Every structure is written in C-alpha cells, then in structure tokens.
Structure 1
Amino acid sequence: MTDFTKILDKAKELEAKMKESQEKIKNIKVEGFSGSNAVKVILDGEGEMCKIEISDEILKEDKGIIEDLIVAAHNNAKSELKSKTNEEISKAAGGFNIPGFKWPL
C-alpha cells in the first residue's frame, strides 16, 4: 500500500520548487533577433516586451519590411523564452519520484 504521507511531502516539496521556479522565470530576460541582427527585441519572463532596438541602416527600408522584421524578432524572443521557461520548469520538477505515482510518458 502506498504511503500517502510520503506523497503529500513530495507534493509540498514540488510546490515549493515550482514557486521558486516561477520567481526565477519572472527574472529571465531573453533577446530575439531578425534581419542579421538589425532588429532586437528583449522580453522579460512574463513575455512583456522590455525593449526594442532597430539599427539605423534598417530604417532606410520600406515600412512593411521593418514591421515584418519586428514581428520576426519578437517571435524569435518568444521561442527563446519558451525554451528557457521549459528548462527552468524541468529543473524544478526533475527528480521527484513520488511513491505509487507514475509521471505521464
């Protein structure tokens, strides 16, 4: 029979690790680039844009091209944020062997 006290202890430990992980995620800053680094977007851990940098050279381009480069840089930053967030969550959840519980997959 499974020892439910051990399961509850592990769940509390996991909850604490996940809260710690959420705080770390909030402090993450990621950069996304496009147009050979002509456009740079910086996002925080919550996905909010902190800064955008556009090179002087790219400002000579057509408005539509600049808009596309901004979107591409933002998407690149979002992808990087997702990767770092997943990595942080994996660190927090890794190594938790709860007795009597099998993780999916």
Structure 2
Amino acid sequence: MKDLMGLMGKAKEMQAKFEAMQEEVASLEATGQAGGGLVSVTLSGKGEMKSLKVDPSLFKEEEIEILEDLILAAHNDAKAKIEALMQEKSKDLTAGLPIPPGFKLPF
C-alpha cells in the first residue's frame, strides 16, 4: 500500500510538471525557412502560424507554384522544429520514468 501511495504522489507530481511544460511549450516559437530564406514561417508551440514572410522577388505570376511549394516547405520545417522542442521537453519531464519505447505523451 505504501508503494501505491508513493506512485500516486509521483503521478500527481508528474501531472503538475506536464501542465507546466504545456504552458511553456505554448509560449515557444519556431521559424522554418525554404528557398534559402526566401520564405519563412513562424509557428507557435501550439502549431498556430504567427507570421509569414515572402521575398518580393517571388511575386511573379509564372512562379506562383514555386511560391506555394516554398510556403508549404517553410511551414513543415517550422512544425518539425516545434515537434522536436516538444519531444525534448517531454524527455526532460519523463527522465527516469519507466515509459515503454514509442509511448507518446499526453496520455
């Protein structure tokens, strides 16, 4: 019974840390770039697009498909950076816990 109470205490402690981590992650921002910096997208930790910058040289009618592709690539780059930051923060939070490989948080 003593082990169960200890486990419950650790679970509550981890939940509080996880909530704090979620707040911290929400305040993070990451900027992804494409086309050597011609297009950049900044996302919040929640994945919301905060800004989009496009070099004026890309505003040519015949290059609209290239511009669209670069915007998508920059967005995906920023999203990957946010996910990497979240994974790193989660790893710090769960350090020392016996969590099975491939198990994702939140529960």
Aligned to 2:79: 78
Give every structure 1 segment of 4 or more consecutive aligned residues whose post-TM-superposition deviation is greater than 3 Å.
Answer: none
Higher RCO (C-alpha under 8 Å, 6+ residues apart): 1
| Identity between Structure 1 and Structure 2 (%) | 35
Who is 1:57 aligned against? 57
TM-score norm. by structure 2 comes to 0.86
RMSD: 1.6
Q: Deviation at 1:56?
A: 1.6
Which residue of the partner structure matches residue 96 of structure 2? Answer: 95
Residue in structure 2 matched with residue 35 of structure 1 by the alignment: 35
For structure 1, which runs of at least 5 residues remain unmatched after alignment?
Answer: 97-101
TM-score when normalising by structure 1? 0.87
Deviation at 1:18, TM superposition (A): 0.2
Paired residues, number: 100
Return the alpha-carbon distance in structure 1 between the equivalents of residues 65 and 74 of structure 2.
Answer: 14
